[in-house]
Structure 1
Amino acid sequence: MAAHRELENLKNTVNDLSVVLQTLEDKYEKEKTAPVMFYAVIRNKAFTYNVDTIIVFETAIVNEGGHYNKYDGVFLAPEKGTYIFAWTVTGSSSHHIITELVVENNVIAGTGEVNNSGGYPSGAMTSLCKMEKGDHAWIRTTGSSTAHYLYSYDDYPQSGFLGLLVLTE
């Protein structure tokens, strides 16, 4: 009799644990998110930007989750975590372009190029930063000059912007 009761208790415990395990698996599947990453470039354009202007990288090559807006150039963080951003900007002739990564109006990092020798030199930067869910990130020109010239054609180095969620919190 005691062995029979113990066996019934063990069966009930296994059944309860199976229910808990299934609940946890269901919760994990619901909370599991798709990758968050984008890569966008500027194609076939050359133009001058004013001071503190958001650069719109209008051709999205990859946009997993759809969090980068190719119409306004702004990335919207879908969740709290650490993100990595990288961008390249290309100038031309005796022009320059100097840019910065901005998250919620805070400058995170900057890069650019000042060209005095012709050609199509590029400036590039990679940066990690923490973002809250709903934070915005973008690349903009700096206040270092009144004009920033960007050159981006398929036959030359393109200007591009990428972002990736590295670690969720």
Structure 2
Amino acid sequence: MLANRVTQLERTIGKEQQNSVQREFQSMNLEVKTDIPHPDFSKTDNKPRIQESELHAPDKDTNGSKLKTCDDRILTLERTVGMEIEEADASLPNESEISKIRRTKEKNSPSKVNINKKRLLSPVTTPYPSNTIQTIAFYAYMSKHTPTITIQYPLTFDVVKTNFGNGYHSTTGVFMVPESGVYVFTWTIRIGSNNYHATQLMVNTDELGIIYSYVGSGPDLGGTGIVVAHVDKGDDVYVRTHALWNSGVIYSDASGRSSFAGWRLF
């Protein structure tokens, strides 16, 4: 019976689906009343009744066709409700998912977090790779005083204390650059009373730096210059006196050394 199937559908899908069914019937200009008992088709009276056989005869008349359409829509709604129930059951977590959630909670427990923090704070024991850049550095000083120089003249620092990379040559006072890079160069010149000297730091024929020291009638004085520059492999770096501003002896003894040094930064 159509009434019984509608009643079962109403109980399954609830009030919201009931209203949807009511709207479906109303769209076909059929009146459905949910606040009164369903009619008993077994009773008869003088009013004409639609026989159940007519509900399945779509070609008999217009009302039969509409009821047939209603029956098909009810079947569709029943299938929809069944699919929604199956999807709801499928969305519930199974045993494996529940176990996974439990393991996740145990992993994030305070005791586990504290253990992980201790591991993160523990010292790293993995050795770092050794520095493969060649160390280049030199330091040399004059073993004795240099006599009065009044011309442009390369100075020789003959006592070599450091010479990593073997770039410095004590006989000429020239540092021949073993590898290109950025270097620091520094030199110190000591002069006595009533003397003055200007000394230059040279790269090949170019001046990179210059210092000027002057002493009147007072004690000895030392002047120091420092330069940071990029130089290329094979360049000659050295210290020389200036062509014009020179007078007197350049001192170097146990009281103070005139020296020349340099090293590569990178």
Coarse TM-score class (shorter-chain normalised): 0.7 to 0.9
Question: Superposed, which structure 2 residues align to 1:1-169 within 5 Å?
Answer: 32-145=132-245, 147=247, 149-154=249-254, 156-167=255-266
**1:68, distance to aligned residue in structure 2 (A):** 0.4
Q: 2 CA distance for matches of 1:108 and 1:51? A: 19
**1:46, distance to aligned residue in structure 2 (A):** 4.0
Q: Aligned partner of 1:138: which letter?
A: Y
Q: 1 CA distance for matches of 2:249 and 2:198? A: 9
Q: 2 CA distance for matches of 1:131 and 1:34? A: 15
Equivalent position SS for 1:133 = coil
Q: Which has the higher strand share?
A: 1
Number of equivalences: 138
In the alignment, structure 2 segments of 5+ residues that lack a partner are: 1-128
**1:43, distance to aligned residue in structure 2 (A):** 2.2
**1:136, distance to aligned residue in structure 2 (A):** 0.6
Q: Which has the higher helix share?
A: 2
* Contact kept in structure 1, 2:187 and 2:259, CA below 8 Å: yes
The 3 A distance-change label for structure 1 pair 59 and 48 is: same
The 3 A distance-change label for structure 1 pair 37 and 60 is: same
Q: 2 CA distance for matches of 1:66 and 1:85? A: 16
Question: Hey, which bits of structure 1, 4+ residues long, moved more than 6 A?
Answer: none
The 3 A distance-change label for structure 1 pair 98 and 130 is: same
Q: Which has the larger radius of gyration?
A: 2
Normalising to structure 1: TM-score of the pair? 0.75
Q: Note the alpha carbon deviations across 1:100-139, whole angstroms, 9 max, x for none.
A: 1000110001113111123110110111111111011000
Normalising to structure 2: TM-score of the pair? 0.49
In the alignment, structure 1 segments of 5+ residues that lack a partner are: 1-27
The 3 A distance-change label for structure 1 pair 148 and 107 is: farther
Q: Aligned partner of 2:173: which letter?
A: G
| Larger RCO of the pair (alpha carbons < 8 Å, separation 6+) | 1
Q: Aligned partner of 2:151: which letter?
A: V
Q: 1 CA distance for matches of 2:145 and 2:250? A: 8
**1:80, distance to aligned residue in structure 2 (A):** 1.2
Q: 2 CA distance for matches of 1:36 and 1:44? A: 26
Q: 1 CA distance for matches of 2:248 and 2:180? A: 33
* Contact kept in structure 1, 2:179 and 2:233, CA below 8 Å: yes
Q: 1 CA distance for matches of 2:233 and 2:193? A: 41
